Structure 1
Amino acid sequence: MWARWIAPVLLGLVSFSFVTAKSSTGNSVLVILEPRLDKDNFSKFFSGLEEKGFELTFRSPKDPKPAVLEYDYAQFSHVVLFAPETKSFAADITPQSLVSLLSKNTNLLIAVGPKSTPISTLASEFSLVLPPPGTPLISHFPARSEPATVIPVPVSPSNIFTSASFAPVWFSGVPFAYQSNPLVVPILNAPAESFASDADADSGADALVEAAEKGGEGLWAGSQLGLVAGFQTLNGARATWVGGVELFSDEFFQKELPGGGKPGNQQFASDVAAWTFQENNVLRVDKVEHHRVNETLPGKTYTTNDQIVFTAHISKYNPDIASWEPYSDLTDLQLEFTMLDPHIRTALPPVRGTPGAYSVTFRAPDRHGVFKFVVDYKRKGFTHLHSSTVVPLVPPRHDGYPRFLSAAWPYYVGAISTSVAFVLFSALWLAGDDRVPGGKKTSKTE
């Protein structure tokens, strides 16, 4: 008897352990690892993904199977591309195929290096400009025994990270300059005293400055350079570019910082992967509602100057329980009531006591036409929220106008007085005497 109940319970517990902490888009991960990189050197990073519930599949860049795309269908939910020096790939791994994966909501984690490869040339499509080949990031501060190309980089706070503060992370690789693009999400920037130059000495700095001036990017130095950057497409897919694959290595996970202490590489790599794989900061609009004040059903049409209530229900993905939960922590959400241009733009605050609900009441403009309720929320690090609902706005019916307007009384009085004066004048004219003064009548024969 007990066996009949224990088996389903154990099966449920096992299935729950595999479900929790997965991505909102799936748990299959293809890791493309070039042969010179030993998988065991990244064991902590890969085992951390497997502990979360991800299913990792490994292949080299030149292996034809398993294919990234098959029959124009993405075979994996996420792709990790650790091939910074590979110059020839299998037929299914091309810059075009990687871009098409994003359109199919497959996320990418890509590491590049100082050498020029087909993948590094793809960075410009994501508004990232790499320096000339062979010019990694260099910093002589702080003083340390490691080479100048192995740098401890401070981590700035961001909504991407699960912790408010991070120990510096070890980095070795190339920086990139940001182009103006609102879809780029800076994650880790270079230290202020760092610069890109020759790997063995600083003698290549002058040549690099000349090349930068010709290219128009400016000097490759300072904290404006990026080391890890994300890119989020309008459909929610995410791609993260990392300037050096060593950031994910076991060596950098355990390497002691110059001032002593453990680096933040392991937690940093875990948070970057969680954001890239759409575990964290994933939002969605569940539904929207609109109706007149004191009504509950949505109006098929609205009349000018109606009082309208609009409500949006928003949820956030919780990777700990692998489900969506109502989310009420957005403080800068807005609603636009638009017809070509916004006629009304107003704050959409959360509703107290109703998790995930954001509501506002406003008066429809005195302009009839086809309008839209638009919620368009774009913030770096969060999924873009967009909702558009079309409603017609019509003028009042012939029996919908008030019979008398208090503001029109001067016109009413003017019209009435004119009418009364006309009646009196007509009456006096018709009732007037046609005789000649003096009592004499005129004769027609005279």
Structure 2
Amino acid sequence: MAGLKSPTLYFFLLNLISLLPLLAFSFSPDHPTDRRILVLLDDLSLKSSHSLFFSSLQSRGFDLDFKLANDPAVAVKRYGEYLYDGLILFSPSIERFGGSLDMGGVLDFVDSGHDLILAADSNASDLIRNIAAECGVDFDEDPSAVVIDHTSYAVSETEGEHTLIAADDFIQSDVILGSKKIEAPVLFEGIAHSMNPGNSLVLKVLSASSSSYSANPTSKLSSPPSLSGTAISLVSVVQARNNARIMISGSLEMFGNRLFRSGVQKSGSLHKYEKSGNEQFITELSKWIFHERGHLKAVHVKHNKVGETEEPPIYRINDDLEFSVEVFEWSGSSWVPYVANDVQVQFYMMSPYVLKTLSTNQKGLYHTSFKVPDVYGVFQFKVEYQRLGYTSISLAKQIPVRPFRHNEYERFITTAFPYYGASFSTMAGFFIFSIIYLYNK
């Protein structure tokens, strides 16, 4: 203890303690993927019946925390900090969450930029339906209705009610479903939902066929079904404006081991697949949901005058300037250059005065050059990039633009020579007139 009385040792220890948070942060992984996920279940038996899906997540480095949805210890936030980065709701029949979690807490979780997977079935409670509705998805109001398709059903040895659908109408997006084509149909058994037309952020990922409809399979139809044809969405996704991602499925069974391993033959087709497309579809879609794919970041925003390297504090009208930004995409293990030909920059003041498409060197660097408009004021360099399946980029950097100073104008302008000549000829004529008028008798 005597050594601590030394001022040199005291200040050394104080500095070391102050550096510990910085050292811990500097060694943290620089990637966007969510690592810790809370899984809320109706029944703990789902942990084994859906083990292939959960094992896929764990093999990719996710830490899953399994809890019953009505567990009184359920909480996603403590002391104002979120405990989890993602939430999986496999509890379609839950009427009320345990602990401090409620519908508002789930929505706040998404509003804070975290991701959500929600799966329902024919037992879906009002709580689950309301959460989906807040996300822009409306489940069929009839609690006894399921998706029925007498044309695109999965062939089985026992003729059923055609509620096991073999769906293969996928969204055409490599970034959402991966570059490898899903060959086998996806088996779906559950309830239908539609997308809220007022929500432009919702996308159909797996659609029903034109012959499908939503009804009670055990009763005769007395009126046309409320949902039918391609208006039915089987699986939908949402990418919020804060880049949080949501997946909503009308079937909990499609995540289960039984449908993952099941063979599939679509009605009317002679080809039978030994394995359904469920595992590939769910795995690839979950990669997108948890930002393992389609996540962009923009760094090193830079602007300067042509021929210079330093950023100036202010520009002058008609200056020639250069602008550049680097854009990278997360590949699941590292950041790789993002290559596209539609990234643009705006030179903006109330409205865009300059709009330029950026050129790329195919290594992540986007650049362009242009002339500052002949208008002075406070401008912004703005990059607003939105592309299907990718996180949006929104950048703004402010810079003032000044007019010419009084000593920066050209002394003699070529186009003004006629006016100069008129001025001098007027003065010369006045001088000659004055001489003649004064001295001529």
Q: CA deviation at 1:389?
A: 0.2
User: SS state of the match for residue 360, structure 1?
Assistant: strand
Q: Which amino acid aligns with 1:112?
A: A
Q: Which amino acid aligns with 2:272?
A: G
Q: CA deviation at 1:36?
A: 7.5
User: SS state of the match for residue 321, structure 2?
Assistant: strand
Contact 1:198 1:204 survives alignment (8 Å): no
Match of 1:161 in 2: 177
Q: CA deviation at 1:23?
A: 6.6
Q: CA deviation at 1:341?
A: 1.1
Q: Which of the numbers 149, 160, 170 marks the counterpart of 2:187?
A: 170
Match of 2:238 in 1: 231
Work out the number of aligned pairs and report it. 398
Tell me which stretches of 4 or more aligned residues in structure 1 moved more than 3 Å: none
Q: How does 1:305-344 map to 2 (within 5 A)?
A: 305-319=318-332, 321=333, 323-327=334-338, 329-344=339-354
Q: Which amino acid aligns with 1:140?
A: H
Match of 1:100 in 2: 108
Q: Which of the numbers 76, 101, 106 marks the counterpart of 1:68?
A: 76
Q: Which of the numbers 250, 262, 269 marks the counterpart of 1:243?
A: 250
Identity over the aligned pairs, expressed in percent? 30
Match of 1:197 in 2: 215
Q: Which of the numbers 423, 430, 435 marks the counterpart of 2:438?
A: 430
Mapped to 2, the partners of 1:204 and 1:365 lie a distance apart of 68
User: SS state of the match for residue 50, structure 2?
Assistant: helix
User: SS state of the match for residue 223, structure 1?
Assistant: helix
Match of 2:6 in 1: none
Q: CA deviation at 1:50?
A: 1.1
* Cα 1:387/1:400, change in 2 over 3 Å: same
Q: How does 1:131-280 map to 2 (within 5 A)?
A: 131-134=140-143, 135-142=145-152, 144-145=155-156, 146-154=160-168, 155-158=170-173, 159-166=175-182, 167-178=184-195, 179-201=197-219, 203=221, 205-206=223-224, 208-209=225-226, 220-258=227-265, 259-261=271-273, 262-280=275-293
* Cα 1:90/1:394, change in 2 over 3 Å: same
List gaps (5 residues or longer) in structure 2. Answer: 1-27, 266-270
Contact 2:74 2:101 survives alignment (8 Å): no
What is the aligned-residue RMSD (CA, Å)? 2.1
Q: Which amino acid aligns with 1:141?
A: T
Mapped to 2, the partners of 1:31 and 1:375 lie a distance apart of 37
The answer to whether structure 1 residue 351 and structure 2 residue 361 are counterparts is: yes
Q: Which amino acid aligns with 1:157?
A: Q
Mapped to 1, the partners of 2:86 and 2:435 lie a distance apart of 94
Contact 2:161 2:217 survives alignment (8 Å): no
Q: CA deviation at 1:204?
A: 5.3
Match of 1:14 in 2: none
- Tell which deviates more after alignment, 121-130 or 266-275: 121-130
Mapped to 2, the partners of 1:229 and 1:122 lie a distance apart of 14
Contact 2:70 2:94 survives alignment (8 Å): no
Q: CA deviation at 1:129?
A: 2.1
* Cα 1:25/1:51, change in 2 over 3 Å: closer
Q: Which of the numbers 391, 394, 414 marks the counterpart of 2:402?
A: 394
User: SS state of the match for residue 65, structure 1?
Assistant: coil
Q: Which amino acid aligns with 1:273?
A: S
Q: Which of the numbers 41, 47, 62 marks the counterpart of 2:49?
A: 41
State which structure, 1 or 2, has the greater radius of gyration over its C-alpha atoms.
1
Match of 2:22 in 1: none
Match of 1:284 in 2: 297
Q: Which amino acid aligns with 1:50?
A: Q
Deviations along 1:156-180, whole A, 9 cap, x unmatched?
4312112342121111122222224
List gaps (5 residues or longer) in structure 1. Answer: 1-18, 210-219, 434-446
User: SS state of the match for residue 203, structure 1?
Assistant: coil
User: SS state of the match for residue 88, structure 1?
Assistant: coil
Contact 1:173 1:244 survives alignment (8 Å): yes
* Cα 1:201/1:23, change in 2 over 3 Å: farther
Mapped to 2, the partners of 1:88 and 1:66 lie a distance apart of 11
User: SS state of the match for residue 331, structure 1?
Assistant: coil
User: SS state of the match for residue 336, structure 2?
Assistant: strand
Q: CA deviation at 1:369?
A: 0.6
Q: CA deviation at 1:37?
A: 5.3
Q: CA deviation at 1:425?
A: 1.6
Mapped to 1, the partners of 2:198 and 2:87 lie a distance apart of 26
Q: Which of the numbers 366, 369, 378 marks the counterpart of 2:377?
A: 369
Q: CA deviation at 1:93?
A: 2.6
Mapped to 2, the partners of 1:263 and 1:254 lie a distance apart of 7
Q: CA deviation at 1:382?
A: 0.6
